[in-house]
Amino acid sequence: MTIEETEEFIGSFIPMVKDVKDVDILLGVPYTSLSRASGLLKNTDIILGAQNIYYEEKGAYTGEISAGMLLSAGCSCVIIGHSERRQYFKETDEIVNRKIQTARKNGLEVILCIGESLAEREEFRTFEVLDRQLSGSLKDLSLDEITIAYEPIWAIGTGNTATPEQANESHEFIRNWLNKNKEGADAVRIQYGGSVTPDTVDSLMSQPEVDGALVGGASLKPDSFAKIVAGAEKK
């Protein structure tokens, strides 16, 4: 969204969720809208997040965004490893790991995205992919202030939502992996992302291992996103 579109969205969205309790709401807006969004969200409980970060804190990296820039703009959280960053910008698990380290060092909470492609699922390699991404992305890191977002690539923007059972199965694998390899795994929030809509949120949130949603296209309209938030509140 542009700055003007962000202003319009937030102005409509805040009244729609003002009575929501027991749900953390985060808006991950484009870099250019961060500062303005921070001002608009100042007297609310809505968290402001960025969609990406660079792993170096300073230097000649024209066009990149540092942790200090995000903090200055009012951010408290950042999405790292989104499937589009991995797919189109060739971000590896090593790069994702370095970004998480930088974000946590600077006090930013992290939403770490992982997930398999359609080909990998059809080849029954989902758990292999998740194991590799978790191992690489979380190498030498604690789970403090890190949320995991499982986003099967084949379900993003396609209208093909994973069934609640498929989502829960992958979330259960992630939880077991965290318990086996890290301390504090039970406190980690595991979100589902992939064509989440007001029509699918209830069934997804009914699953025991689904703790929230990373919403894409359906979050671009205030009323649609507000309905998803309401669906999350029911859990």
Residues with active-site annotation:
82, 151
Going by the DSSP 8-state scheme, the letter that residue 149 receives in this structure is E
Rounded to whole angstroms, the Cα distance separating 172 from 167 reads: 9
66-103 b/e with 16+ CB inside 10 Å = b?
A: bbebbeebbbbbbbbbbbbbbeeeebebebbbbbbebb
Rounded to whole angstroms, the Cα distance separating 43 from 39 reads: 8
Rounded to whole angstroms, the Cα distance separating 11 from 34 reads: 15
Tokens of 114: 């992982």
∠ CA 139-141-146, rounded to 5° = 115
What is the biggest distance separating any 2 CA atoms in the chain, rounded to whole angstroms? Answer: 48
Residue 204: closest CA among 151, 157, 158: 151
